[in-house]
């Protein structure tokens, strides 16, 4: 008898087969040693399109909304029918007595397996493989600890709810607003509030009015060195000049000196979002590029599972951390004499499905020359982070001295490093980077951890006097907010509901934990979808909303573009995956929202219609509804999609007579109902003739034409 192991990708399937001893290659699978190993090639089965429920949904009409399936339908994606057929056949084999779900250990991986299993009509028992590393030891351990498939039912329900919610909001929202404004306007449960954040930031930048201010600075000479102290912001130049004149060439008296030892804790290990952020900040990689690189490194057994939201490892891993840190240090060329405080990266309570991203022991064998640039950069970044995370604290003494001069106060700040700690490794790593982001000073440490001004100040004591201080005035301007980069957008998506309170009955519960927009595994795809849809553009490292993106957010209701609401939904999906709330309750809320959208938007807003008015020249008036008819690459169509009036350029009436429906012919037909056409070739005789063509539209699916035999063509 055999066990069918079903992986998500061919590369993973082959790695599993190698460990299991299945080496006989077949078409779409490998078998041997009592195992049959195959793969899904990503999503094989998905939710059916709207028209699969009713042919009428093939046309976009507002009167058909909302579309809310009673019994959901599923389809096998066309390009993957062969592999699905192979899997169905394997599941039906008499010698296959059970299965192992070995798709990626997460929400989407669970959905991929379950939909294939159900679509194939399989009833055989299955267990779940749950691993965070593709190393041979991890695979063997995972197969020795297989869990019953039913243990992950809640995770599957969460994944299915996510898919259905995206379908309901995407289908109904997109069709509703597209038909209202006669333009394809893509709406999504997560992508729309993400776009709204980009638009809001851009509006703040566009509306920002800079304000001038001045700073009076003292240059103080100690006799052997110089340092400076600064006053506060002074809006008025005359006032600043007055302060400067009062202090210039006067004695500066030190009235207070404060010293404080500060410690900067090591950074946490990477989860996917923080890895993507640093990948963007240090190398300019998009979130998708970083995810793709990390996934390939995982499949190559060089790092652990990347689609994780944890930044800690479990206690059973602690013993292996010193050797792993030593291998990582050698890999990045940072030496091996570094402290390893494994305990500070261990927290069982903060590891749910997967632990943080760390290099595997295979990093010591990695052939860097065979890795692409992105893979090499991400592997070095993950390795450096591990060494920093287990390092000692970085310590420094912060000094703040206040001086009185000419009746005004000035402050000098400085610091002295006491112990480099983990920053010694970070500095070695950063020195190897050739092209870093413009803000690379904000490196792997948390921003703001180490922001004391200046270097070391000279020894200072209260009452100390410095003669003849030189005062100068400098001009400055307030700065607008910065445009989002993928680094900062990912951060905002992750923290979308950090300050939001969710009402649960009579209680108000702070939702500052996991309520973000999307999940670490999906945020990169959301950004790419906004870019490919033309709603967001990349300008260098900046992400900027396009005019279409700004217009779309302008017309949409708050419910669709609220980051807080969508983040709350994601929180509920997380609760579903833990079995702490009912899937049906969540879906009822989504269905009610879809129904509410349609009922509340029966007509376009007059003030917004002009936002989507086409700048194209109209070919003529639509004979069915009176709207404008515009030319596209393939046809002449009514601006109102619901009208469905289309004159195809390759209509057989013309092509069979060696002609194409031109703009001039279309214009004449729409204006007078007829057009004189020269050079029509008869199918029967092959002779060329001129004739008058009439527009004989009867309002059906296709526009008809006929000859006017009562009038000769010229």
pLDDT, greater one: 636 or 353: 636
pLDDT digits (tens, 9 = 90+) for 325-349: 999 999 998 887 889 999 999 999 9
CATH class of 164-205+483-607: mainly alpha
User: What's the confidence (pLDDT) of residue 441?
Assistant: 40
CA-closest candidate to residue 159, choices 460, 586, 539, 701: 586
The set of residues, in sequence order, having a beta carbon less than 8 Å from that of 209 and lying 6+ positions away, is none
Q: Which residues are catalytic?
A: 305
pLDDT digits (tens, 9 = 90+) for 27-57: 999 999 999 999 998 889 999 999 999 999 9
Q: What is the DSSP string of 596-656?
A: HHHHH-SS--HHHHGGG---SPP-EE-TTT--EEEE-SSEEEES-TTT--EEETT-HHHHT
> What DSSP character marks residue 267?
P
CB distance 220 to 226 below 8 Å = yes
Number of neighbours of residue 658 by Cβ within 10 angstroms: 13
User: What's the confidence (pLDDT) of residue 505?
Assistant: 38
User: What's the confidence (pLDDT) of residue 512?
Assistant: 35
CB distance 590 to 169 below 8 Å = yes
Write down the pTM of the prediction.
0.79
CB distance 490 to 277 below 8 Å = yes
Q: How far apart are the first and last CA of the chain?
A: 82
Q: Does residue 369 come out as left (phi exceeding 0), alpha (psi in the -120 to 50 range) or beta?
A: alpha
Architecture per CATH, domain 272-392, reads as Orthogonal Bundle (1.10)
| pLDDT of 419 above 90 | yes
Q: What is the DSSP string of 95-162?
A: TEEEEEEES-SSHHHHHHHHHHHHHTT--S-EEE---S--SHHHHHHHHHT-EEGGGGHHHHHHHHHH
When pLDDT is cut at 50, 70 and 90, the band that residue 617 belongs to is confident
> What DSSP character marks residue 457?
P
Round to whole Å and give the CA distance between 623 and 629: 9
Architecture per CATH, domain 2-145, reads as 3-Layer(aba) Sandwich (3.40)
When pLDDT is cut at 50, 70 and 90, the band that residue 615 belongs to is low
Q: How many residues does the chain have?
A: 714
pLDDT, greater one: 611 or 483: 483
Count CA atoms within 13 Å of residue 151 on its CB side. Answer: 12
Strands 74-76 and 96-102, bridge-based pairing: unpaired
When pLDDT is cut at 50, 70 and 90, the band that residue 391 belongs to is very high
Least confident window among 24-28, 199-203, 435-439, 516-520 = 435-439
pLDDT digits (tens, 9 = 90+) for 430-471: 998 865 443 444 333 333 344 345 688 999 999 999 999 999
What average pLDDT does the chain have?
90
The three-class DSSP label of residue 283 is helix
Round to whole Å and give the CA distance between 549 and 186: 10
User: What's the confidence (pLDDT) of residue 444?
Assistant: 39
When pLDDT is cut at 50, 70 and 90, the band that residue 369 belongs to is confident
Q: What is the mean pLDDT of residues 514-523?
A: 82
User: What's the confidence (pLDDT) of residue 397?
Assistant: 96
CB distance 537 to 546 below 8 Å = yes
Work out the burial of residue 95: count CB atoms within 10 Å of its CB; fewer than 13 is exposed, 13-18 middle, 19 or more buried.
Answer: exposed
Q: What is the mean pLDDT of residues 665-694?
A: 91
The three-class DSSP label of residue 405 is strand
Element containing residue 332 per DSSP (H, E): helix 321-332
Round to whole Å and give the CA distance between 542 and 684: 62
CATH class of 212-265+396-477: mainly beta
Q: How far out from the chain centre does Cα 111 lie? A: 20
Q: What is the mean pLDDT of residues 361-369?
A: 89
Q: Does residue 212 come out as left (phi exceeding 0), alpha (psi in the -120 to 50 range) or beta?
A: beta
| pLDDT of 261 above 60 | yes
Strands 126-128 and 96-102, bridge-based pairing: parallel
pLDDT digits (tens, 9 = 90+) for 6-19: 999 998 999 999 99
pLDDT digits (tens, 9 = 90+) for 61-118: 999 999 999 999 999 988 899 999 999 999 999 999 999 999 998 899 999 999 999 9
> What DSSP character marks residue 343?
G
User: What's the confidence (pLDDT) of residue 498?
Assistant: 63
The set of residues, in sequence order, having a beta carbon less than 8 Å from that of 489 and lying 6+ positions away, is 194, 197, 198, 527, 543
Round to whole Å and give the CA distance between 294 and 287: 11
Show me where the domains of the chain are located: 2-145, 164-205+483-607, 212-265+396-477, 272-392, 620-712
CB distance 651 to 697 below 8 Å = no
Q: What is the largest CA-CA distance in the chain?
A: 113
Angle at 452 between CA 446 and CA 453, to 5 degrees: 130
| pLDDT of 507 above 60 | no
The set of residues, in sequence order, having a beta carbon less than 8 Å from that of 709 and lying 6+ positions away, is none
> What DSSP character marks residue 479?
-
When pLDDT is cut at 50, 70 and 90, the band that residue 497 belongs to is low
CA-closest candidate to residue 379, choices 366, 389, 388, 391: 366
pLDDT digits (tens, 9 = 90+) for 102-147: 999 889 999 999 999 999 999 999 999 999 889 899 999 999 999 9
- Alpha helices in 468-562, H assignment, sequence order: 486-494, 523-532, 547-555, 558-561
The set of residues, in sequence order, having a beta carbon less than 8 Å from that of 422 and lying 6+ positions away, is 266, 267, 387, 388, 389, 391, 392, 393, 394
Least confident window among 153-157, 470-474, 679-683 = 679-683
R_g of the chain, CA atoms, integer Å: 33
The three-class DSSP label of residue 59 is coil
pLDDT, greater one: 611 or 12: 12
Element containing residue 380 per DSSP (H, E): helix 373-389
Round to whole Å and give the CA distance between 486 and 194: 12
Round to whole Å and give the CA distance between 237 and 255: 27
């Amino acid at each position: 008898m055999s066990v069918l192991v079903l992986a998500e990708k061919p590369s993973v399937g082959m790695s599993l087969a190698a460990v299991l001893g299945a080496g006989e290659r077949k078409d779409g699978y490998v078998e041997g040693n009592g195992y049959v190993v195959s793969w899904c090639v990503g999503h094989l089965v998905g939710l059916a399109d709207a028209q699969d429920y009713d042919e009428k949904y093939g046309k976009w009409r507002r009167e058909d909304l909302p579309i809310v399936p009673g019994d959901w339908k599923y389809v096998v994606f066309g390009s993957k029918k062969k592999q699905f057929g192979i899997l169905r056949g394997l599941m039906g084999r008499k010698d296959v007595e059970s299965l192992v779900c070995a798709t990626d250990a997460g929400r989407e991986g669970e959905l991929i397996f379950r939909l294939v299993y159900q679509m194939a009509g399989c009833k055989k028992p299955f267990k779940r493989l749950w691993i965070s590393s593709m190393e041979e030891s991890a695979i063997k351990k995972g197969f020795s600890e297989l869990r019953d498939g039913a243990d992950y039912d809640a995770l599957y329900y969460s994944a299915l709810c996510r898919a259905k919610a995206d379908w309901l909001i995407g289908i109904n929202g997109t069709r509703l607003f597209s038909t209202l404004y006669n333009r394809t306007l893509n709406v999504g449960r997560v992508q729309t509030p993400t776009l709204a954040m980009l638009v809001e930031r851009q509006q703040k930048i566009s509306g920002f009015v800079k304000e001038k201010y001045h700073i009076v600075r003292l240059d103080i000479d100690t006799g052997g060195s110089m340092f400076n102290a600064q006053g506060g912001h002074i809006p008025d130049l005359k006032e600043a000049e007055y302060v400067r004149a009062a202090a210039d060439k006067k004695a500066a008296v030190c009235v207070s000196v404060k010293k404080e030892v500060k410690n900067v804790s090591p950074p946490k290990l990477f989860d996917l979002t923080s890895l993507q952020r640093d990948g963007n900040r240090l190398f300019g990689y998009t979130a998708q590029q970083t995810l793709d690189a990390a996934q390939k490194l995982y499949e190559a057994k060089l790092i652990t599972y990347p689609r994780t939201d944890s930044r800690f490892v479990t206690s059973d891993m602690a013993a292996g951390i010193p050797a792993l840190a030593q291998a990582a240090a050698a890999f990045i060329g940072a030496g091996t004499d570094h402290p390893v405080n494994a305990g500070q990266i261990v927290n069982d309570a903060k590891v749910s499905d997967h632990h943080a991203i760390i290099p595997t022991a295979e990093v010591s064998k990695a052939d860097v020359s065979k890795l692409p640039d992105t893979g090499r950069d991400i592997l070095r970044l993950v390795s450096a982070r591990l060494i920093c995370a287990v390092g000692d604290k970085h310590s420094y003494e912060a000094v703040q001295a206040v001086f009185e001069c000419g009746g005004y106060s000035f402050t000098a700040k400085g610091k002295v490093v006491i112990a480099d700690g983990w920053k010694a490794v970070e500095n070695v790593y950063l020195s190897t980077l050739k092209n870093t982001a413009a803000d690379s000073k904000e490196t792997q440490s948390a921003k703001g951890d180490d922001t004391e001004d200046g270097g070391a100040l000279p020894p200072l004591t209260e009452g100390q006097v410095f003669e003849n201080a030189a005062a100068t005035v400098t001009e400055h301007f307030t700065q607008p907010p910065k445009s989002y980069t993928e680094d900062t957008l990912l951060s905002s998506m992750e923290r979308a509901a950090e300050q939001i309170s969710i009402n649960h009955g009579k209680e108000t519960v702070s939702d500052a934990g996991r309520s973000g927009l999307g999940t670490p595994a999906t945020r990169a795809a959301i950004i790419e979808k906004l870019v490919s849809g033309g709603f967001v553009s990349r300008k260098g490292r900046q992400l900027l909303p396009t005019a279409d993106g700004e217009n779309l957010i302008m017309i949409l209701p708050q419910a669709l573009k609220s980051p807080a609401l969508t983040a709350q939904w994601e929180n509920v999906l997380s609760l579903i995956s833990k079995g702490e709330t009912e899937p049906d309750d969540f879906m009822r809320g989504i269905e009610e929202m879809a129904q509410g959208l349609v009922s509340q938007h029966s007509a376009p807003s007059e003030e917004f219609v002009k936002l989507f008015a086409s700048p194209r020249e109209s070919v003529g008036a639509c004979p069915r509804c009176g709207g404008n008819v515009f030319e596209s690459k393939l046809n002449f169509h009514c601006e109102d999609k619901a009208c469905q009036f289309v004159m195809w350029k390759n209509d057989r009436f013309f092509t069979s007579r060696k002609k194409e429906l031109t703009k001039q012919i279309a214009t004449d037909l729409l204006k007078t109902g007829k057009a004189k056409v020269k050079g029509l070739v008869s199918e029967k005789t092959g002779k060329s003739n001129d004739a008058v063509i009439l527009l004989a539209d009867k309002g059906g699916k296709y526009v008809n034409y006929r000859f006017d035999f009562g009038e000769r063509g010229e």
